[in-house]
Amino acid sequence: MVVLFLVAVAAVAIAVDVVLGLAYLWSSTGLVLPKGTAPGTLSLLKFVPKELYLGGAAVTAGIIFVVSIISVAKLADGGSAVAEMIGARRVAPDTRDPLERRLRNVVEEMAIASGVRVPGVYVMDGESGINAFAAGWDVSNSVVAVTRGTLETLTRDELQGVIGHEFSHILNGDMRLNIRLIGVLAGIVFIGSIGEFLMRSVRGSRSRNTGGIFLVGLAIFVIGYIGLFFARLIKAAVSRQREFLADASSVQFTRNPDGIAGALDQIRSASAFIANRYAEEMSHMFFGQSLKLWLGGLFDTHPPIDERIRRVRPGFQPSAYRGRRAAAAPPPAAGAEPAFGRAAGLAGAAAEAAPAAGRRGADLGTKWGRSAGESARLVGSAESAKLDYAAGLLASLPAALREAVRHEEGACAAIVALLLAPKEDVLQQQTEALEAAGLGETASRARGIAPLTRPLGAAYRLPLVDLALPAVKTASADRKQALLRAIEAAIHADRRVSLHEFVVLTLVREQLAAKRRPGTGENRRIVQLEAEALTLLGLVARAGVRPEPGGEGERRFQAALAAGAREMGLEKAGTAAPASLTIEAAAKALEALRELAPLQKAILIKGLFVAVTADGTIRVAEAELMRMIGAVLDCPLPPLLEAVDPATLAA
């Protein structure tokens, strides 16, 4: 891509220089040529001052780079900026439209299953074609948008296949590259806009130079199409193989090749074209080919539909599939979609068993047979078993709680309710602390929701926070700050901070914090952040060790710490625990470690897994901690205990 971009810049600069040379010759009246000069335009261009060529090339390159930088800056808000650019409408968490509710359900299932924060959901109301895209600078602040035609045409399985495809782009890091392409390529095609401006500027003018200016504008406008040629070539080169990968990932995620194959078949019988004026700039981001182009085989950003279907579903028979295909009818009532996919049986069992699960789930875990490398490869993974688990877990949540977190006030109250103690004396302390902070109304709402959250197990905590965050993120800045103050007041009321409280506070604080400028940081090595890595390692190692008599627990802790340090290449740093392990120190360490380079983050995650599974098992609290760390570091981890029935994972 970089090579093609530089070639494009050079080609546009050369073309501009040719136009400038011709303009110079046109305007020169006393040009004297040496004897023996061969006639012809190319020969004459050699006598144009070199300073004009150098200046023209420099200005052209400068314009391209400046416009690209400005375009990238305009997209600093990431996915929401891209969605708004194309005119998409954000779907409210509490939407009553049955098709939009079905879309939100599918997105929420996949977000919980993959460890990604629930993306913002958008609909392109004016588009009747079948298409979709995902956008964002990072996985925690992504968006998924679909056309109205997608909602009205596709069945649930087909919609799930499309959303699975878009989640592949989220998990594989394609989104950041795609947004950069929008900004970078804007500079290449901008030259054509200058030519168009020059042609418009001389309309109606009777000046003697009008013809020359018009021709210069026309020439520059044509040059713009040189930029467009390279822009389309770059997008095609970058996009095609990623589309094959996303299709395959969708099948792996949903375990249903007919879903995405059926969606592609519907595009074949209908259309995926986008009418919006930004369809050209965003053509590489869509699920299907959004434009009809000349020389399609060269410029198409997507592989042929027949080839995509053949790869995901060999032997697919369109006529047979269409004959058994269910109608794309909406659910019978708003929000009444039952069953969350294939996990209906699990959901029903979980719903019945959850209230009676008691407190035994806090220490419940499972054997961990994965190596450090296998554990780290869970980052960004998408497996159908986890989708089933997530669907069952979500379906077993009380309906009243699911509805509450779709609203701003209920979402904030639900997060605080997760932190309220079951003991009446501690609960009273928390209530008084909230009232003293001027948050009495929040305390009242949280206590009202607490009967719904208290019976739930530890496995429900992060999913419930994830379900609440979309509504919280739409709140005002004052409301967000009030929520953070409420969380801190509830946590510190009893003068101690549990691991669960640390996880909730850190995750919510990170999600509501002002986002860093895209592309900053993420280039440091673990050895440069040695103290921070050991602090986080100490937290994880301590979480995996229970107090035991005779100092055995401390020995296990030191062994886990040493094993994790060796995996990170920090064995020379010593294996002693950090002098003080406070919530503030752990939060600062985690924030600093966000600046690690991507492959360095992989090493960190491997070391943390070594420490947390040093005893060969992983408990619910440990899994919750690891998933929170992955979320903050932009390394999403799926549910780690999907083999355990969520109904048994009570706190």
CA–CA dist 508, 71 (Å, integer): 30
Question: What does 435-489 look like in DSSP terms, one character per residue?
Answer: HHTT-HHHHHHHHHHHHHHTTSBGGGHHHHHHHHHHHHHTS-HHHHHHHHHHHHH
- Please report, as a single letter, which amino acid is at residue 310: R
Can you tell me which residue has the tokens 């958008």? Answer: 122
pLDDT tens digit sequence for 346-403: 333 333 333 333 334 445 567 888 888 899 899 988 788 888 888 888 888 999 999 9
Q: Are strands 132-135 and 143-147 parallel, antiparallel or unpaired?
A: antiparallel
Q: What is the mean pLDDT of residues 443-453?
A: 94
Is there a contact between 382 and 253 (Cβ–Cβ < 8 Å)? yes
**Confidence tier at 31 by pLDDT (50, 70, 90):** low
CA–CA dist 204, 207 (Å, integer): 9
pLDDT, residue 500, reads: 85
Can you tell me which residue has the tokens 């995620």? Answer: 253
pLDDT greater than 90 at residue 624? no
Least confident segment among 36-40, 48-52, 506-510, 618-622: 36-40
**Confidence tier at 457 by pLDDT (50, 70, 90):** confident
Q: Which two tokens stand for residue 165?
A: 């495809």
pLDDT, residue 434, reads: 94
**Confidence tier at 439 by pLDDT (50, 70, 90):** very high
b/e for 529-545, b at 16 or more Cβ within 10 A?
bbebbbbbbbbbbbbbb
CA–CA dist 459, 351 (Å, integer): 14
pLDDT, residue 262, reads: 95
Beta bridge partners of 619: 365
Least confident segment among 189-193, 206-210, 406-410, 522-526: 206-210
- The sign of the CA dihedral 632, 633, 638, 642 is negative
The residue with greater pLDDT, 31 or 149, is 149
Least confident segment among 38-52, 266-280, 394-408, 557-571: 38-52
pLDDT greater than 90 at residue 120? yes
**Confidence tier at 39 by pLDDT (50, 70, 90):** low
Active site annotation includes 51? no
Q: Which of 100, 109, 166, 408 is catalytic?
A: 166
Structural domains of the chain, with CATH: 2-29+38-78+180-220 (no CATH), 88-174+237-324 (3.30.2010.10), 361-381+517-648 (no CATH)
- The sign of the CA dihedral 377, 379, 382, 388 is positive
pLDDT tens digit sequence for 309-342: 999 999 999 989 988 887 665 555 544 554 444 4
CA–CA dist 120, 107 (Å, integer): 9
CA–CA dist 634, 349 (Å, integer): 33
pLDDT, residue 23, reads: 78
CA 76 from centre of chain: 14
CA–CA dist 392, 456 (Å, integer): 14
Q: What are the φ/ψ torsions at residue 457 (nearest 5 degrees)?
A: -85, 175
Question: What does 309-365 look like in DSSP terms, one character per residue?
Answer: HHHHSTT--HHHHHHHPPP-PPPSSTT---S-GGGHHHHHHHHHHGGG-TTGGGG-E
**Confidence tier at 650 by pLDDT (50, 70, 90):** very low
pLDDT greater than 50 at residue 63? yes
**Confidence tier at 533 by pLDDT (50, 70, 90):** very high
